[in-house]
A and B are shown apart, each in its own frame.
Chain A
Amino acid sequence: MAAVGERRITYDARGLAEPHAEAPRVATVEGGRATFDAHPLTTRQINLELRRLLYEEGITDVTVQNPGAKHSIGVGILTRCRLRFEGSLGYFGLGLIDGPEITVTGRVGWSACENMMSGVVVVESNAGSLTGAAMRGGDLVVKGRVGARTGIDQKGGTIIVGGDAGSMTGFMLQRGRLIICGDAGPGLGDSMYDGTIYVAGKVKSLGIDCIPGEWTDADTELVERKFSIYGLGSPPEFQKFVCGKKLYNYDNLEPAERKLVL
């Protein structure tokens, strides 16, 4: 087994972040597509290079090689573009994005796609805990397994998990959908306000106020459409879970919508 020769992360005096605030300008651009190797770069340098390519150069197709599970990569990308990460991302990757279509060929760490607003993220391997936390829109597809509390506080969009999901999946789910193709851990949908959870495998236990829901044609249409879009084959048979609405008695309206009704 090869071990790395030198430490790959540099720190400032507090040991928290590296100080260089300039994009390293290392990408090669060919036919409107950019590629760069993230291996020797710090988190900040990777993000600066991404931003330079997307916002200054106007390139809409970028491949990042060897991200090396570094944290906070690809955060806050607010433009329509196509990104491909060849490798794994660390914690807090792809947070606060609005619009991009992203593929990660490896794994993502805790809190991937937190507060995602729109777009598509496809993770070819596994994801850590808190995946899609507070997500508001778009589709997040994890083809492997996910950790605990996936979709915590989710407010919209769809999370699809090809494998198993850990404990408290859909904890405090407010809106949106979780489609779990494998088993779900204990406390599924605990304290959920609304939204829908589909599980194909076994459910270890339901959380407070999460109850089985009635399957409708709209559910079939949704699941088949999502499976078709992402090439996931024929969907298995799912159980549907919804909020019992006994714990919280809030309505389903956003403040702006409530004003219209009132």
Chain B
Amino acid sequence: MCGIAGLIYRDGTHEIGRDLTRMLQSMKHRGPDSTGYALYGPRGHRIVMRYTLADANTPRDFEFPDRLRRHQAQVVDRLRGLGATIHDVEAETEYAYRAVLELPSQNGTGALKAIADRLEDIPDCEVLSLGHSLEIVKDLGDAESVSHQYELGGFTGTHAIGHVRMATESDVDISGAHPYWAYPFSDVAVVHNGQLTNYFHWKRRLERSGHRFQSECDSEIIAVYLAEKMSDGASLEDAMHESLEELDGVFTYIAVTDDALGVAKDEMAAKPLVLYESDEVVALASEEIAIRAVLDREIETYDPYESEVLVWQR
């Protein structure tokens, strides 16, 4: 089933970690397997990287702690080898890390691709996100557990999307959890509810263009598809409109960049989404109960229609 949620504040920064946790927790019944967040903090000139060196269900053999230490040292070496200045590396959990970097040439996707490719060459290393504003956090369990584990309650920012997953077509692990970062493009992420039936067609096509995929999950296609369109000059809204024609299946997805949030529904409107919009905030979720979790008053909501694309700037 899965549940998706998004929140974009138009009046400055808010406690988006806390708010999104409330939204996602209220939809726990839609997917208790894993929970994920794409949070957008204030944009800085430094790059924030979220990565993991193991999965929550990786077997803890006797060498596990040594392996983690060794792989973490390799991450640091390789970053330095790419000319990165490492300002901070923090272990968020036993296996998940947050690093703050500066690169000699930070604006090109080439630099981000080089980082992701070099780091993911290290066994079990997975780069969850790279960006000036975006931070993706995902793990097994419900929203309260993940938020507590990663201390997201105090995360402030302007917009965020999240996902609660009921695994159906790929494993219950962190790589199967949403949101997906649009490797190797900065600050683009997607959450999706549904199934894509031309997944392999698009995966092969995007792989031929040089993209790699972290997971076997169809939803990852959407993130990379959109980012590639945008890197060719399309706006987020145009790219999303094109996706309605080119992606096949049933889907409602939310896509975010560092300054916009959009939602698209397939031509059957088979997957739910409820929307609330005001001058201060736009909140959307698979169920209205999630919006009610952060808006403590009577509100006017509606379901977007089939083949509808809506985009908001922060």
Residues of A within 8 A of B (CB): 1-4, 7-9, 11, 15-16, 68-71, 87-88, 90-91, 106-107, 109-110, 125-126, 128-129, 144-145, 147-149, 164, 166-168, 185-186
Contacts and interface: CB of A to CB of B under 8 A. Distances in A.
Nearest to A165: B305
B268 A88 contact: no
A107 B289 contact: no
A15 B29 contact: yes
Interface of B: 14-15, 18-19, 22, 25-26, 28-29, 32, 142, 144, 267-270, 272, 274, 280-281, 287-289, 291-303, 305-306
A147 B301 CA distance: 12
Identify which of A2, A69, A144 gathers the most chain B CB atoms within 10 Å of its CB: A69
A145 B302 contact: yes
B303 A128 contact: yes
Q: Would you list the 5 A-B pairs with minimal beta carbon distance, nearest first? A: A69-B288, A148-B269, A147-B303, A167-B306, A2-B296
A90 B289 contact: yes
Nearest to A167: B306
A109 B287 contact: yes
Nearest to A9: B26
Nearest to B268: A167
A109 B274 contact: yes
A90 B3 CA distance: 14
Contact of B269 (A106, A125, A166): A166
Contact of A68 (B18, B267, B292): B292
Q: Binding site of A, secondary structure by majority: helix, strand, loop or mixed?
A: loop
30 contacts: A1-B294, A3-B22, A3-B295, A3-B296, A4-B294, A4-B296, A7-B22, A8-B26, A8-B293, A15-B28, A15-B29, A15-B32, A69-B288, A69-B292, A87-B298, A88-B288, A90-B287, A91-B287, A109-B274, A109-B288, A128-B272, A128-B274, A128-B303, A129-B272, A144-B302, A148-B305, A166-B269, A167-B305, A167-B306, A168-B268
Contacts of B299: 88
A43 B203 CA distance: 43
B272 A3 contact: no
B269 A3 contact: no
Given A69-B288, A148-B268, A166 B28 contact: no
Contacts of A144: 302
Contacts of B302: 107, 126, 144-145
A166 B289 contact: no
Given A7-B25, A68-B289, A148-B269, A126 B295 contact: no
A70 B259 CA distance: 32
Contact of A107 (B268, B294, B300): B300
Nearest to B28: A15
